[in-house]
Chain A
Amino acid sequence: MLENSLVDSIKKSHSLTEAQQLALGKFINKGFPTSKWEEWKYASLKHLNEHNWHWAPESISVDFPKPVWNSFAIIQTLNGNTSSEGTLPHGIALLTMSEFMVQNPAFDSVWKARNPILDQNSLYDLNEALVADHAVLWVKKGVKIAEPFVHHYLVSGQQDTAIQSKLFVYLEEDSEITWFEQQRSESSHAILSNYVQEIWVSKNAHLTLIKDQDLQQSITHVDHTFIFQQESSLVDAFTFSINAAYLRNNLHFYIDGPQVVSNLNGLYIPGEDQLMDTHSVVDHRMPHSESNELYKGVLMGNATGVFNGKIFVRPDAQKTNAFQSCKNVLASDRATMNTKPQLEIWADDVKCSHGTTTGQLSDEALFYLRSRGISKATAQTLLLLAFVQQVIDKLDHEEIRAELSEKIVNKIQASLGLTLS
C-alpha cells in the first residue's frame, strides 16, 4: 500500500481517465516492490516510498550527437515525450496510440487480448496510470530498413523526479528494422525512470533490438520490454547494461505463433554501488518455436547482480526448443550474484535446457598471463574482455559493435581502476 501523501501528490499532478484511475488503484494497492515480493527479492524499491516525488517532469530538449553512420531521423523520448527529429523513411510513421487505433480498429481487440504477465509488476501499473496517450512507431507492411533506427531515451530533472515513458512499436507483416536504443540521463539527482516498451512483431517480420543502458549513478531505471511475436517472426534482442545506480530489466517474449525465433542476448557489468537485475520471460504459447538466451555478467566492486530467467512452455507449445545460458564472473570478493532459472513445462514433446554458472577468474589463467609479464590488473581485464566478447560479437552492425565494445572496455577498466596501454 502506497503512502497517502504520495497518492495525493499523484492525483494532484494528473487528471486521469477512468482506465488510468483503474491502473493507479492497482499501483496504490501494491505500492513499490519490496524484498518480500519474490520477483523483487534482491532488488527492493521500498525506499522509493520515502521520496517526495515530482510526478510531472519538466519538458526538455537536447542536442543529441548523431552517430556518424546515421542518415535519417532519430526518434527521441525525452522525459516521456516521444518525437522524431528529421525525416522518417517512407513506410514508417510516428503517431499516438489513439491515432493508431483509429486507423487500425481491428487491432484493438487483439491488443487487449495480448495478456502479458504482470505479476508483482506494480511499476507497469504506475506507468499505465500516468501515461495518457503514448507514441507508436508504425512500420508498414513489407518495409525493410537496413540502417538502424536510433532511439534516444533520456531522463533529466530535479531531485525526486519520477518519469514515466511508454512507446509502442508495431511491425507489420514482412517488415524488418533494427532498433538501437541509447538510454541516457542528464541529472545528478535521484530520478526514477520507469519505461515501458511494447513491441508487436507481425508474421514474417524481423526485429533486431539493441538496448544500450548507460545512465548516471543517481538513476533508478526500470525497463519493461514486452515483445509479442506472431507466426514466423524473428527477434534478435540485445541488452547491454552498463551503468545506473539501479537497473531492472523486465524483458518478456510472448510467442503467439508457430515458427517463431526469439534470441535474447544480454550483458550486465555493474560496478561499485550498482545493482542490475534481469528478469526475462519467454512464454511459448504456440508450437514449433525456438528461443535462445545467452546472458553474461561481470560483477565488480560491491555490485549486486540478479538473473531470473523464466521459460514457460504451454500445453499447446509442442515441438518447442528453448535454451537458456547465464554465466557470471565475480571480479571482486565484495560482489554478489543471484541466479534463478525457472522452467515451467506443460507440453511433453519439447527440448529445453538451462545452465547458470557464477565463478571467479581462474587463478591458473591469471598466473599464466602474469608469468609472461602482464600485470595482474591487465590480466584480469584481458580475461574479462574475452569473457564478454561472445555477446558483443553477436552484433552484426559494425559501428554499433565498435561503439559498445569501447564503452564496455572502458567501464571494466574504470571499475578495476586501471588504464590499458
Chain B
Amino acid sequence: MLSVKNLHARIGEKEILNGINLEVHAGEVHAIMGPNGSGKSTLASVLAGRSDYEVSEGSVEFFGKDLLDLSPEARAAEGLFLAFQYPVEIPGVSTTNFMKSAINEIRAYRGQDAMDAVQFLKLFKERMAYVNIDQSLLSRALNEGFSGGEKKRNEIFQMAVLEPKLAILDETDSGLDIDALRIVAEGVNKLKTPQNATILVTHYQRLLDYIIPDFVHVLYKGKIVKSGNKDLALELEERGYDWIISALD
C-alpha cells in the first residue's frame, strides 16, 4: 500500500530525511524507533503533508498514487491518517462538528452520499466505546483544556471514525500514564484488520507491549539503519541505541 523510496526532506537548508526506504503492506504493523532528532516525527509529517518540509528527492506511492502530489486533505480522503504527537487546540470548534465536516468532505471526494444526523449519531456512539471517550468531551471545543490522555484518546476516536487504510501514530504514547496507554492501544488493536496497516512512531518500547509490531525499524540521522521483528524493540529496550549507532559511526 505504501512505498517510500529514497525519501529526502529538509527544513530550509537542514536535511532531516536522508534517503528513507520503506514498504508497508496491508495487515502489517510497523514500528519506527530511534533516538531524539533522528527524523521520526519528520517522516510522519512529510507523509501526512505538512508544508514546513520540502521534499528534495525520492518518491512516495500510496496505492499506486503519488502521495507527495496530494494535498493533506486528499491524502486523508485516500485513506491516510496521522495521529498527532501534539493535537492542536481549536477554540470554538467541537470534535463532533469537526468530524461531521471531515466525514462528509471525504465522502464527497469518494463520490459517496453525505451522512445524515442519525447515521452520525450511530457511528459516533459506536466508536466512542473503542476508546472509552465521553460525549461531553466531544461536544467541547476541540482539545481545548483536554488532559494529555484525553487528547490522545480523541486522536484515536477520530481514527476510529475515519477508518483509515494507513494510520500513522506519532509518539501517541508520549505523556500517557499506563491506564491511558492501555486504552489507546486497545483502541488501535480493535481497528486492526487485514486490509489496513499501522505505522507506530515511538521512542520507547512500552507501547509495543500492547501493540505488537510485525516490523521494527531504527531511524538514525534520517535513514533506516536497522530493521527487524519485535525482538529488535526488546533488544533496544535492553541495550539502548548506542550499539547500533557505534557500529555505524
Contacts and interface: CB of A to CB of B under 8 A. Distances in A.
B101 A382 contact: yes
A373 B93 contact: no
B108 interface: yes
A386 B72 CA distance: 22
A368 interface: yes
B105 to A, nearest CB: 5
A30 interface: no
A378 B101 contact: yes
B19 interface: no
B162 A371 contact: no
Contacts of B101: 374, 378, 382
B232 to A, nearest CB: 29
B50 A386 contact: no
How many A residues are at the interface, by size bracket? 20 to 34
Contact of B48 (A363, A364, A371): A371
A375 B88 contact: no
Contacts of A28: none
B73 A374 contact: yes
Contact of B49 (A362, A371, A375, A382): A371
A364 B82 CA distance: 14
Contact of A372 (B50, B91, B158): B158
Interface in A339-382: 362-365, 367-376, 378, 382
A371 B88 CA distance: 12
B102 A368 contact: no
A73 to B, nearest CB: 37
B102 A374 contact: yes
A276 to B, nearest CB: 22
Contact of B82 (A371, A374, A382, A421): A371
A372 B102 CA distance: 6
B132 to A, nearest CB: 21
A293 B97 CA distance: 30
B90 A370 contact: no
Interface string B103-128: 11110110000100000000000000
A400 interface: no
Nearest to B78: A373
Contacts of A375: 71, 73, 105
B98 interface: yes
B51 interface: yes
A259 to B, nearest CB: 33
Interface string A267-283: 00000000000000000
B73 A370 contact: yes
A373 B88 contact: no
A372 B162 contact: yes
A372 B108 contact: no
A385 B141 CA distance: 13
Interface in B158-185: 158, 162
Contacts of B12: none
Considering residues A363, A372, A376, A378, which has the most beta carbons from chain B within 10 angstroms of its beta carbon? A372
B76 interface: yes
A42 interface: no
B204 interface: no
A365 to B, nearest CB: 5
A363 B158 CA distance: 20
Contact of B92 (A367, A371, A390): A390
Contacts of A385: 92
A323 interface: no
B51 A363 contact: yes
B170 to A, nearest CB: 11
A389 interface: yes
A362 B86 CA distance: 14
B84 interface: yes
A387 interface: yes
A400 to B, nearest CB: 20
Contacts of A376: 71, 73
Contact of B106 (A373, A387, A389, A390): A373
Contacts of A386: 90-93, 141
Interface of A: 362-365, 367-376, 378, 382-383, 385-387, 389-390, 421
- 4 closest pairs, A vs B, by CB? A386-B92, A373-B76, A373-B106, A370-B72
6 contacts: A362-B88, A371-B72, A372-B73, A373-B73, A376-B71, A386-B92
